[in-house]
Amino acid sequence: MTYLILRLATLGNVAMTVPVIASLSRRYSNDRFVVASKKDLASMFASMPNVEFREVDNHIDWKGIFALWRSWRDEIDGVIDLQDLPRTRVFDALMWLSGKQVTRVHYGRFRKHLITKLGICKHTLPTEFDRYRDAFRRAGLETDEAFEAIPTNSAAAKKVKERFGDKDGRWIGLAPFAKSRSNMLPYRVTKDIIEILIKDKHTYIFLFGAGEVECEMLRQWATVFPRTISVAGCLKLKEELELMRMLDVMICMDSANQHLSSLVGLRAISVWCATHPMIGFAGWKQRPDDIIQRHDLQCRPCTCHGTNHCRYGNYACRQIEAETIVKQI
């Protein structure tokens, strides 16, 4: 059987599929799995011999949907849609009309709306991993929780070692940014964290980020603080993962970096501001004690994925002291 797995975006959500798909690859070695997702993410699945990665534009139009259907309809036996958007639903319908088995993830969007918008029904929801596993189960595919880390990419690890040398002292990763303002600490707090950590002369800070503005800001910080290195925009994803494998800990927001850390078995101290782990986006096998958040705010969570608006205008959820995070380290 050949199964098509659709998860077009985002980086963090695609990373969350890896532990589940790795389980499928191991348990169903005679089947073939085709993962369709955004470009440059193939390295996360490279170690799975019966998993093929195909790049698909996240913003694919309706014409492109029909083109994919015509291209794949004779090759694919079943579709597992982990994206569940109008475009993918059209593709699902076309495949179903072609006689293919189609299974779609259940995201529980109504229950999430009750929690984030109306402030009711505040109880922990299934994790994204549970939702993915449920979709595969309804497709007749069972999974397990055995995944610990993706295998080392020797070529990428060699390049990382050539660039940064042998590990000396304590290496700490810091990914201070997120897509939305409500998911980030104030810059002042992030700088305070760096200042406290570099007081130890055996500590090195590696700054992670993406995007032109973030990369430029992190490069400036790296010139100001000693033993602070910006790797934003400098490494391929496979090299970034191998660098993470060498770290002692990653400090990150509720963002993709906590999920990338999970892929290499790295402990991540994640900071949650407007969002909340009860929605189901905590990292794979990350420790609950390593989650930093404000428990005293009744308005949290006000969003599932982040927002640039605060209903009270004060972003109280971002008011977390640097010492709280450093203490957890």
Any domain includes 202: yes
Both 202 and 107 in one domain: the answer is: no
Both 243 and 289 in one domain: the answer is: yes
Both 66 and 121 in one domain: the answer is: yes
Tell me the H-state helices in the chain: 11-27, 62-72, 86-97, 109-116, 128-138, 154-164, 187-197, 212-224, 237-246, 256-263, 322-328
| Nearest alpha-carbon partner for 122 in 328, 295, 312 | 295
Any domain includes 265: yes
For the chain, the first-to-last Cα distance in angstroms comes to: 46
Asked if residue 230 lies in contact with residue 215, where contact means CB atoms within 8 angstroms, the answer is yes
Any domain includes 281: yes
- The pLDDT assigned to 30 comes to 96
Tokens, residue 317: 């959820």
Q: Which residue has the tokens 């499928």?
A: 24
Any domain includes 147: no
Numbers of helices and strands, H then E, in the chain: 11, 11
Both 172 and 37 in one domain: the answer is: no
- The pLDDT assigned to 127 comes to 96
Q: Which residues contact 201 (CB under 8 A, 6 or more apart)?
A: 227
Out of 72, 104, 138, a domain closes at: 138
Both 279 and 158 in one domain: the answer is: yes
Out of 109, 138, 167, a domain closes at: 138
Any domain includes 85: yes
Out of 81, 105, 138, a domain closes at: 138
Any domain includes 148: no
Both 70 and 185 in one domain: the answer is: no
Question: ∠ CA 317-320-326 to the nearest 5 degrees?
Answer: 145
Both 134 and 161 in one domain: the answer is: no
Both 110 and 167 in one domain: the answer is: no
Q: Which residue has the tokens 């109880």?
A: 123
Both 48 and 194 in one domain: the answer is: no
Which amino acid would we find at residue 210?
A: A
CATH number of the domain residue 74 falls in: 3.40.50.2000
Q: Between the CA of residue 13 and those of 27, 212, 257, what are the distances in Å?
A: 22, 22, 11
Q: Which residues contact 29 (CB under 8 A, 6 or more apart)?
A: 49, 50
Handedness of CA 200, 202, 208, 214 (dihedral sign): positive
Domain count, the chain: 2
Both 124 and 206 in one domain: the answer is: no
pLDDT < 50 regions, the chain:
none
Query: What does the DSSP 8-state code read for residue 236?
Result: -
Both 9 and 67 in one domain: the answer is: yes
- The pLDDT assigned to 62 comes to 83
Query: What does the DSSP 8-state code read for residue 295?
Result: S
Domain encompassing residue 122: 2-138
Both 292 and 237 in one domain: the answer is: yes
| Cα separation, 100 vs 92, whole angstroms | 9
Q: Chain-wide mean pLDDT for the chain?
A: 95
What are the pLDDT digits (tens) for 277-301? Answer: 999 999 999 999 999 999 999 999 9
- The pLDDT assigned to 60 comes to 83
- The pLDDT assigned to 196 comes to 97
- The pLDDT assigned to 202 comes to 96
Half-sphere exposure at residue 164, Cβ-oriented, CA atoms within 13 angstroms:
26
Any domain includes 84: yes
Any domain includes 261: yes
Q: Between the CA of residue 300 and those of 91, 258, 262, 267, what are the distances in Å?
A: 36, 20, 25, 25
Which amino acid would we find at residue 326?
A: V
- The pLDDT assigned to 57 comes to 86
